[in-house]
Amino acid sequence: MKIHPTFAVLAAAILAASPALATEGQAYLAPQKAAAILADGDPWSADAPDGKTLKVTLNKDGTGSIRGPMPFALSVSWVIKGDTMCLSGKMGTKCLRFREIAGGLQAWDGDKPDLKFSR
């Protein structure tokens, strides 16, 4: 079966513009599914791009905490906003998309990998 060149260009443009697809073509999770996985009340190890490891605990009610290099926990909240899950705290708000990886989830901030959640 031969594909018309115009169709191939149109299909490529649609796929490139789709926010649900990562650069490798792997789909991002629906934010509701990512939240259901992450917000279970148990701590996750979250490796930051700068090499720091955090302990992130998210609860089903939209609350949570982050422990890291500081000697105390920071309170956070989370909400679903569009195709992202947004985490907010004293340090600001970060809206992330997620892909499944072995042992957890990889968060993406736009087109850049962000926190890597694992247990």
What CATH number has the domain bearing residue 48? 2.40.128.640
Task: Establish if 7 belongs to a structural domain.
Answer: no
pLDDT of residue 16: 38
Task: Establish if 108 belongs to a structural domain.
Answer: yes
Sorted by sequence, the CB contacts under 8 Å of residue 13 that are 6+ apart come out as none
Task: Establish if 34 belongs to a structural domain.
Answer: yes
Task: Establish if 11 belongs to a structural domain.
Answer: no
Task: Establish if 8 belongs to a structural domain.
Answer: no
pTM score, whole prediction: 0.77
Task: Establish if 114 belongs to a structural domain.
Answer: yes
How far is Cα 34 from Cα 86, in angstroms, rounded to an integer?
11
Of 10, 9, 26, the residue nearest 106 (C-alpha): 26
pLDDT < 70 positions in the chain: 1-25
Domain assignment of residue 47, given as a range: 28-118
Specify the number of domains making up the chain: 1
